[in-house]
């Protein structure tokens, strides 16, 4: 009986390994499908771990990795893809298998995904020797081509070209500086989408899944503020000591923290929108106002998210409702 169960597990492992390879290759060979492929690739491994165990899932990941090396032929690309998505699929399977609540599960998966993103960034630099942050020269060439085209079309008035070039260079330097933070933020967003898709898949397969809480009830722990504290410490310390690396780390941490608190601020606004039962016209008017004054709105939402994380300003609002948001 035991050998039969093991045989069935190996057959399932081979099937899900092949499915993982097919989904990954679709993204690698068809660039328009790359982002969608990355969102779905971890799911076969997650389903396998949920149906069998972690050992079978790890074996399927090893088989899928070997097949990708053979079929795609670009070892570095395959290695980065496997490191970033393979362990995430195994982790999601364990989280679903152990019935971890949706909130903590997403948080754990997001932190692991962000760490894997940074690992692939560093590993790519060590293997290829190409610094992903050193993209300024190519971007400067692109800026010169863009300015040349604007000049030929007559869009640039005399005396404006140098100012526009300076602005473009500053934007490119900022984009290069915040590249790690943007990659981490994308990994957080993509992990949430993958987890949500995983819930849909597991429900279709007949498994009991803990639903995600409504967006208006999202809550971040108070100690998330340490991301901002460390960001400020690295930023100010790097500037004081003349260490640009520390300053860059600080700026990236502040950027990530601001994004997280922006999301929480939107959740707070959504909570009060639902609680006050505003009409659709009033909601649309407020949304348009926020868009028109977006710099102030972003700052306000970040501050609101920070206050809610530290003081739980929605706590009294929940008690004020008669169980409406429970």
Q: According to the 3-state scheme, what is the secondary structure of the chain? A: CHHHHHHHHHHHHHHHHHHHHHHHHHHHHCHHHHHHHHHHCHHHHHHHHHHCCHHHHHHHHHHHHHHHHHHHCCHHHHHHHHHHHHHHHHHHHHHHHCCCCHHHHHHHHHHHHHHHHHHHHHHHHHHHCCCCCCCHHHHHHHHHHHHHHHHHHCCCCCCCHHHHHHHHHHHHHHHHHCHHHHHHHHHHHHHHHHHHHHHHHHHHCCCCCCCCCCHHHCCCCHHHHHHHHHHHHHHHHHHHHCCHHHHHHHHHHHHHHHHHHHHHHHHHHHHHHHHHCCCHHHHHHHHHHHHHCHHHHHHHHHHHHHHHHHHCCCHHHHHHCCCCCC
pLDDT digits (tens, 9 = 90+) for 121-170: 888 777 766 665 555 555 556 666 666 666 665 556 666 666 677 777 77
101 has a pLDDT exceeding 60: yes
Segment 62-86 shows an average pLDDT of 91
pLDDT band at 74 (very low <50, low <70, confident <90, very high): confident
- Which residue carries 């169980």 as its tokens? 323
Q: If you average pLDDT over each of 91-95, 170-174, 267-271, 316-320, which comes out highest?
A: 91-95
Per-residue pLDDT tens for 160-219?
666 677 777 777 777 778 888 998 999 999 999 999 999 999 999 988 888 888 898 898
Min mean pLDDT across 84-93, 225-234, 315-324 is at 315-324
Q: What's the mean pLDDT in 237-251? A: 88
pLDDT at res. 148: 66
pLDDT value of position 325: 42
The pLDDT mean for the chain works out to 84
pLDDT for res 323: 43
Residue 89 exposed, middle or buried by CB count within 10 Å (0-12, 13-18, 19+): buried
Of the chain, the percentage scoring pLDDT greater than 70 comes to 83
- The confidence score (pLDDT) of residue 159 equals 63
Judged against a pLDDT cut of 50, whether residue 324 lies above it is answered with no
Q: What is the pLDDT of residue 242?
A: 82
**pLDDT for position 63:** 94
Please report the pLDDT score of residue 31 as a whole number: 85
Average pLDDT for 36-55: 93
* Predicted pLDDT at 326: 37
**Which range, 117-126, 162-171, 281-290, 295-304, is most confident?**
295-304
**Which of 2-11, 29-38, 171-180 is least confident?**
2-11
Which pLDDT band holds residue 322 (cuts at 50, 70, 90)?
very low
The predicted structure's pLDDT at residue 291: 82
- Which pLDDT score is estimated for 160? 67
pLDDT band at 106, cuts 50/70/90?
A: very high
Above pLDDT 90, what percent of the chain? 46
Amino acid 112: pLDDT: 94
Nearest to 111 by CA among 224, 228, 251, 34: 224
Q: What is the pLDDT of residue 131?
A: 61
């Amino acid at each position: 009986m035991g050998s039969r169960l093991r045989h069935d597990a190996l057959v399932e492992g081979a099937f899900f390994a092949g499915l993982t390879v097919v989904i990954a290759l679709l993204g690698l060979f068809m660039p328009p499908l790359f982002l969608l492929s990355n969102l779905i690739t971890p799911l076969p491994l997650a389903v396998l771990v949920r149906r069998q165990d972690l050992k079978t899932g790890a074996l399927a990941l090893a088989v899928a990795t070997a097949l990708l090396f053979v079929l795609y032929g670009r070892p570095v690309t395959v290695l980065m893809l496997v490191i970033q998505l393979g362990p995430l699929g195994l982790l999601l399977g364990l989280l679903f298998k152990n019935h971890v609540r949706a909130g903590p599960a997403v948080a754990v998966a997001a932190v692991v995904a962000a760490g894997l993103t940074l690992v692939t960034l560093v590993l790519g630099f060590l293997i290829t020797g190409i610094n992903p942050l050193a993209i300024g020269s190519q971007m400067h060439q692109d800026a010169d081509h863009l300015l040349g085209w604007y000049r030929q079309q007559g869009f640039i008035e005399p005396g404006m070209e140098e100012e526009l070039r300076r602005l473009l260079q500053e934007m490119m330097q900022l984009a290069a500086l915040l590249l790690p933070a943007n990659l981490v933020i994308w990994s957080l967003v993509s992990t949430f989408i993958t987890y949500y898709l995983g819930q849909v898949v597991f429900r279709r397969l007949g498994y009991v899944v803990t639903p995600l809480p409504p967006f208006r009830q999202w809550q971040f722990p108070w100690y998330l503020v340490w991301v901002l504290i460390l960001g400020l410490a690295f930023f100010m310390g790097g500037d004081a000591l003349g260490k640009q690396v520390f300053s860059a780390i600080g700026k990236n941490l502040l950027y990530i923290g601001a994004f997280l608190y922006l999301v929480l601020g939107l959740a707070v606004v959504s909570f009060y929108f639902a609680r006050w039962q505003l009409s659709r016209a009033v909601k649309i008017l407020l949304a348009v106002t926020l868009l028109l004054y977006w710099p102030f709105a972003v700052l306000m939402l970040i501050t609101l998210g920070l206050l809610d994380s530290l003081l739980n300003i929605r706590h009294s609002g929940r008690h004020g409702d008669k169980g409406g948001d429970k």
